[in-house]
Structures are given as C-alpha cells and as structure tokens.
Chain A
Amino acid sequence: MDLILKIWRQKGSNDKGQMVEYNVTDISEHMSFLEMMDVLNEQLVAKDEEPVAFDHDCREGICGMCSMYINGEAHGPDRGITTCQLHMRTFNDGDTITIEPFRANAFPVIKDLVVDRMAFERIQQAGGFISVNTSGNTQDANAIPISKHAADEAMDAATCIGCGACVASCKNSSAMLFVSAKVSQYALLPQGQVEATDRVLNMVKQMDEESFGNCTNTGACEVECPKGISLENIARMNREYLVASLKG
C-alpha cells in the first residue's frame, strides 16, 4: 500500500517543531508499524536527509520504550497493544497517517518522536519499592500464603510497562493510572503493607510535583493502555491515599 505520513519533526528540546509530510510506497500489510518507519528512515538516509528519531527497543510490546501518538491515539488505532505491535493491516491504501510524540508538560520532547519520561522514574524512586535488603536472608517464599485472587490482581496491576500512554491519552495529562498500578500491586500483597502509608503519600506527592494534571475520571487512559490496566487501580489508590492521610 502507499501512504502519506505527517510526522512531528523537532531538532532538539529547545527548538520549534513542525509537522512534515512524507510518502512511502509498497508497504506490506504484514509489516509492523515500526518496520514501516524503518522503510521511511532507510529512504531518508539514502536521500541524505536525517531519519526520524523514535524510541523503540524490544519490538514485542513489553519494554515500554515505543511511544507514538498515531492518528490522535496513543499507540495508534488498535487496542491492547503498543506501537511496536501495531501492524499495517490496520490501515488502508492511500491513508494519511499523523504521527506525533506522546505530548505532556511532564514529558518534554528530546527529538522528533522521542520524549523524556524521567518524571516516571522519580515517582518510582519516591516509593515504588519494598524496603527489603537484597542479601537473600529472607524467609522462605512459601512462608506467607497469598490468596490466588490477590496474587492475580497484584499481577494485573504489575503488568504496567511504564510507557506513558495513559498520560498522553488524558486530556489533563494525569499520571494516576501509572502511579496507581504500582501502589495497587503492593497494596494487594502482604509484603507491601508495612510501608503502605508512606508509599502512597510519597508517590502521590512526587507525581504532583512533576506537573502531571489531575484525574477527572474520563477513563481515556484505561482505553488506550496497552496492558489493560484497570481504572479500579485509581479507585484503590484513592482509598489508600485517604486512609494514609487520615493516619497522618
């Protein structure tokens, strides 16, 4: 198929960016979206133009590195996938495709489609861990039985890949889904209880300092989340936060 691409080009974080139009031809429907981008970049290199910078690594939907905003949706039109799992069969011959970076004040553009997600790192550093030493002198793994239900729910929350699609999809650029997934994972496990109060307070405080917006329960984040992280996590975090605030 032949396509018209409108891509955000921006030289560096302090430069002004703009949409630039490119044509690609003979694209196979079996290609992944990023393989289509590879074809474009090979063309640009051949013409001595600068290829489009974009983040990608595992190309199997788990590392969370890829981050394109395609036709107005984080990770593009398909559901339950990352950009790298999007395939060209989703598009039609002659389509015009608009490709932008994940946009949010907290995610400044580094170059073209590459954004800086260090704000997520700082939130995790504020409390996204259990303070257990890694020396190995812990009790036996089966010492505390955990109900299958709780373990499964914790696992569902823990599947978050930290890509930032929730932030990019939210009209307020809120990071509540991301933060609540981590808070929930630990809140659901006995190992996470000891530090539960400090964890939720510290992570939310850091989130607020990173200039993410507020949550107004529109649920766009859940729709675009490649891993299907549920809004229930936000409700759980709000409960955890309320309890923690009352405890002081």
Chain B
Amino acid sequence: MKLDSKIPQGPLKDKWTTYKDNINLVNPANKRNIDIIVIGTGLAGGSAAATLAELGYNVKAFCYQDSPRRAHSIAAQGGINAAKNYMGDGDSNYRLFYDTVKGGDYRSREANVHRLAEVSGNIIDQCVAQGVPFARDYGGLLDNRSFGGVLVSRTFYAKGQTGQQLLLGAYSAMNRQIARGKIEMHNRHEMLDVVLVDGKARGIIARNLITGEIERHSAHAVVVASGGYGNVYFLSTNAMGSNATAAWKIHKKGAYFANPCYTQIHPTCIPRSGDYQSKLTLMSESLRNDGRIWVPKHMEDVLAIREGKLKPTQIPEENRDYYLERRYPAFGNLVPRDVASRAAKERCDAGYGVNETSEAVYLDFKSAIQRYGTEQALLHGDHSPSKEKILELGEAVIEEKYGNLFQMYEKIVAENPYKTPMMIYPATHYTMGGVWVDYNLMTTVPGLYCIGEANFSDHGANRLGASALMQGLADGYFVLPYTIGDYLSDDIRTGAISTDSTEFEEAENTVKERLDFFINNKGTHSVDHYHKKLGKVMWDKVGMARNEKHLKEAIAEIKEIREDFWKNVKVPGSLNEFNQELEKAGRVADFLELGELFAKDALNRNESCGGHFREESVEIDGPQKGEALRNDKDYAHVSAWEYKGEPSDAVLHKEELEFKDIELKTRSYK
C-alpha cells in the first residue's frame, strides 16, 4: 500500500482553512446516530471525547485508571506553547511553526505543524473560558515564560502543574457531557484489541479491570489516544500504567507504526538511586529558565564531592564548567532537550558526573536567587540590602515560580534545593514516534484514528518543551472533530454496528486465549523481571547514543527475552478478578515486540537527527565538530513500518518529507 498523507493543496498558510471549508459535514440530526469510541482520556483523548460529544456524536470513552482525570497528561509540569505574542517579542504563527520544525530536526510534516501553530492561540482562549487558572501578572493579564530551543516567551503556565490544570479543564468538559449522557464513560477498562469489519474499524474488545469480564463495544469509528511508549525502557518519567498496548494492537491489525526510534530523553530528571527504582521523576524544563547547569572543571573536585569531602556550594565560580553556556553561547541553558541530554552524557561519560555512579550533573539556582533578590529589594525600596535579605527575597520568587517542583525534589532526594544545587540526569520522557496518520489523523486503517502522543506527526525527531500539551489539545479540540466528520459523512445510513458478528467473536477469542495462556503458564519469573531486562537492553544499547553493533545485539537480545517470556512468565491469580499482574503481563508482551521494532528502526536510520543519535553520524570538523550530523539526502522521510508477524519481518514504507516553506539547515544552537 502506498502511503498517502492527504496533505491539501495550496499555500501552506491557507491549507487548513481552505480544507475545513470544503470537507463533508454530518448534519446534527445524523450525528445522534453515530457512535465513536475514544481510547484514553489524557489531553488528546479527553478533549476529543468532550468535543465530539458536544458536536452530537455518541461517545464511548475508555481509560484504565479509576477516573479520566488521572491520565498521565496530569503530570506535565512546565507549560503549553501558543503563538499569542502577548509579550510583544515578535512571536507569530510562522515563528512557532518554524521553531517546531527546526526543533524536530526537519523530520516532521510541514502542513501538520503549521496547522498546529495556527490553532495554538485558540487553545489558550478555550482553556481560560473553561476556568483554567493560568499564571497572571499584576495587571491581570496572562504571563508567559520561555522554553528550550526558542528565542521568544510563548509558554503559558499554571505554576509547575500546567498539565494538571489543562487536563482538569478537559475532564470538566467531559463531565459536562457525561452528565448529559453524551459520553458513556468506562473507567478501569483496558482496550485489548480493535475489531475490523469489511476493513473498517468498527469496535474494540475491552477488559473490565475490576471483574475481569471481556466486553465487546462497537462504533462507527475508533480513536486511539493512548499516549506514548516510553515505558519500553522500564524506567521513564511515564506513569507506571502508561503502555503501548492500544497502539500496538492497532499496528498488528494494519496501522503502520512510524519512526519508533524517535524518543525523547529529557535532560532534567532526578537521577536513579538503586536497583529497586520503579520510575524516574522529571524536573520541569522551565527550571532551565533560571537554573544553570554545570559540573566541576577539575577531576579532583569531582572525586572530593563523591567522597563527601566537598560540597558543590564550596566550589568557586572559576572552577565550575557551565558546559551548555560554554558550548552553546546563543541558547545556553535553553538548548533543546536532545542537545542538553547528550551534553550531560558527554560530561558524565568523561567522568565528571557528581554522584557515585557518575550519572548526575548540577542544576543551580544560586545566580537566579541573587538576581531576583536584588531586584525585589530595589522594588521594596531597599537600596543596600543584606546578603540574607537578598537570599530571602530571591528564594521567595523562586518558590512562587517552582515551589511544587522544589518540594518534589526535596521529598525524593532529602536535600534542600534552595540551598544546594539539584542533581539531575537525563531520562526517557516522551516518544515522538508512533502510529502513522495522514493529515486527517487517520491511520492506514479506515475509520481508525490516532491522536496525541500516540501518533507520530508533529514533533519530528525531537519535541520542543511545552509542545506536547499543545499538540494533544489541538488534535482533540480543534483538528479531529472536523476531520472525522469527513469520514463519518459516509456512515449516516449505516445504523448501529452489531457486536454479534464473527469479526467480534474472533477478536474476543484471541484476547481470551492470550489471557488464559498467562494465567495457566505457571512459569518461574515475574512480569517485572522481564520488563526490567528489556529496559536495561533498551537503555544500554538503544538509549541516548546508538551504533550498529549495539543495535544488532539489542535486536537479538530482545528476541531472546521475548522467547523466554513466553515460556517462563508467571502470572498469579485468576482471570475474573482485579488482577494487576495480568494487566502488566499483556503490556510487557507488547513492549517486547515494540522494543525490537524500535531497535530495527534505529538501525535502519543511519543518520543522527533529534533524539536519534547514531555515533557513526557526527560532524568531523568545523564549528559544529562533534555535533549530530543529519543526512537529508537519504533520510528526509518518515519510516512507517507494516506489521508482518515477527518484528524482524516488518516492512518499511517511506513517506518522503517535502519542505516547501522552510529551507533545510544544520540545526545550530551555538
């Protein structure tokens, strides 16, 4: 099958408007006869469910948590981008579009990104109308801050809990529709397969996680908004339950999976502390507005710190290596995430890491506290403030901006980050790759849509900070509700879809057989045993830096782990009950396949771009020496994989990326 991205014709800036003006609509009376299933209730799924229900469709929404409000979008901290230009610093839709394409290292689809920039402003209007309490200045207007990879302030925020507030906004919109009976909400349910009838997505098989009952649900279209697959690494900033099962199941039923190797390793996370570690915690990128990243210049200081003989606060300025400011003077501490992560790895690999395992660097707020303290003292009319007064006033400003993050850090590490620099290290955070979708956000299966982090479309090979929230809400509130109508306009005479068909029966049987297998296998190792093994291979060999040898080893090792898993996995308990080990078993089984495709994709893409860094592809000399080297001649395409059984049999389809409005350049932040 040839990939058709269905990008509308015409000038870039008019594509979306013209397209919307010309697509088919479903009249309000007919919408009442059309059902749509939405999997996942994060920013993308939640906003889509609410808007589709408001338009008049009958929505059936599913989440594995006990409430839609718990989806992991809730944990997004720093903010949401929008090209409002409220700060008057020269922002525009074009600049947001340009920054996103450049930030993504020219591996995203121009038309999708421009549309995203166009609707971004509207998201803020919508959220304010919903009662989202964004941060404001003393004049009562909305405040903005700056994020990595851009030179303007366009990030709207609600303390360090922006994701929470936006998700609660979408959740409240859902609640309004649940109360009206327009959304049928299925909490504590997990989708275990999609059902195709005559080649179209017509329903799902889901498991009620409380009773264990297997249920059939039908609809005229299915929307998957199940988030990313970062937990393939076992340790990530994702929630414990975040999984790729919905996305992987639809891949196995015909949806191509695009660019699995594009994964974001976030530079500022709390370092791991031991083998028992179950997840990693992010410290928001917004901290890089005020925090400066450094390691000691001299090895003797590094060793003294590790031995506990020296404190970081005792190291004088001249003996600190602010390596981001040194290497990237134009963007400094606000380089994009992939660049910041690799720079931290470079210093730590060279032996300058500041904890026992040499896997930590400092994020220091001392300069900011001084700067804010002095400014506040002046504002208070104190022209010769004492040192203590400056510290007190400065710390108060930092607390107002990042208080909850500092508290999180203190609880985990048991150190006071106002007094001593934070220790941070990169961790898996977000996956830019995902299910391939066309301009309508439809997958290669008719009637099957994929939105939010679960799809691949907008961030290319690297996502800029505060753009995930923007994309999730753009897809759910403003894009999918239009584009899905074009497809459903053919379905107004179809009538309700019966679940009493051989297609549903077959899908249900497959699901049941697999669950039976897990319960009856009575193996020797727990599910987590395999998940941790997979995670270690992924991190060591398919992590921040990749090479051919390691990738080939990873492919072989993951296959081995998978085969062992299917022989020796042990799942206690029974089918028809609340059984968390059984839930995990299904998810890890899918990660064990996805991980291999991930490594295969990374092996196939012999260039460095964004979050995908191949050691074989670096600048040899010149001002960019040592930086990632992209290869536009051979790799300016989307790699979309078709399922054919084993991951090793997956077939590659290429969508060539055309850049008509942007000139492809080396991404320089120097």
Within the complex, the shortest CB–CB distance from B67 to chain A, in Å, comes to 6
> Is A55 an interface residue, CB under 8 A from the partner?
yes
Given contacts A63-B72, A125-B178, contact A133 B54 (CB under 8 A): yes
The answer to whether B67 touches A121 (Cβ under 8 A) is yes
Within 8 A of A (CB), among B561-593: 570, 572-573, 577-578, 580-581
Is A159 positioned at the interface, with any CB of B under 8 Å from its CB?
Answer: yes
Q: Are A89 and B140 in contact (CB under 8 A)?
A: no
Interface of A is mostly: loop
Residues of B within 8 A of A232 (CB): none
Nearest CB in chain B to that of A192: its residue: B131
A32 in the interface (beta carbon within 8 A):
yes
With known contacts A12-B577, A53-B578, A162-B67, A134–B50 Cβ distance under 8 A: yes
Interface centre among B122, B123, B159, B278 (most CB of A within 10 A): B278
Answer whether residue A101 sits at the interface, using C-beta atoms and an 8 A cutoff: no
Residues of A contacting B277 in the complex (Cβ-Cβ under 8 angstroms): 35
| B572 and A50 within 8 A (CB) | yes
> Chain A contacts of B572 at CB under 8 A?
44-45, 48-51
Residue of A nearest to B139 (CB): A145
Nearest opposing residue in chain B for A129, CB measure: B172
Q: Compute how far the CA of A117 lies from the CA of B237 in the bound complex, rounded to whole angstroms.
A: 26
| Interface residue total, chain A, C-beta cutoff 8 A | 78
Let me know if A135 and B54 touch, CB within 8 A.
yes
Chain B residues whose C-beta falls within 8 Å of the C-beta of A99 in the assembled complex: none
B183 CB, nearest partner CB in chain A, Å: 10
Q: For the complex, what is the distance from the CA of A158 to the CA of B132, rounded to whole Å? A: 9
What are the residues of chain A within 8 A of B411 when measuring CB–CB?
A: 61, 78, 81, 85, 87
C-beta contact mask, A134-146 vs B, less than 8 Å → 1, else 0? 1110111110011
* Complex interface: chain B residues within 8 A of A48 (CB): 572
CB of B113 to closest CB in A, whole Å:
19
In the assembled complex, how far is the CB of residue A142 from the closest CB belonging to chain B, in whole angstroms?
5
- B489 at interface, CB cutoff 8 A: no
> Which residues of B have CB within 8 Å of A130?
129-131, 172
Q: Pick the contact of B125: A39, A118, A125, A138 (CB < 8 A).
A: A138
A42–B65 contact, CB under 8 A? Answer: no
With contacts A58-B75, A59-B240, A132-B129 taken as known, whether A85 is within 8 angstroms of B276 at the C-beta atoms is: no
B618 contacts the other chain (Cβ, under 8 Å)? no
Query: B84: which of A34, A141, A151 is its contact (CB, 8 Å)?
Result: A141
B400 CB to nearest A CB, Å: 9
Q: Which of B54, B176, B408, B580 contacts A61 (CB 8 A)?
A: B408
Instruction: Contact check, A132 vs B526: say whether CB atoms are below 8 A apart.
Output: no
A51 contacts B65, C-beta separation under 8 Å: no
A58 and B74 in contact (CB under 8 A), knowing A63-B239, A148-B136?
yes
Cβ-defined contact, B281 with A60, below 8 A: yes
CB of A116 within 8 A of CB of B66, answer yes
- Does B175 lie within 8 Å of A89, measured CB to CB? no
16 contacts between A and B (CB under 8 A): A30-B274, A31-B274, A45-B581, A51-B581, A57-B72, A58-B72, A64-B67, A87-B412, A110-B578, A118-B187, A134-B130, A134-B477, A139-B125, A139-B129, A158-B133, A189-B133
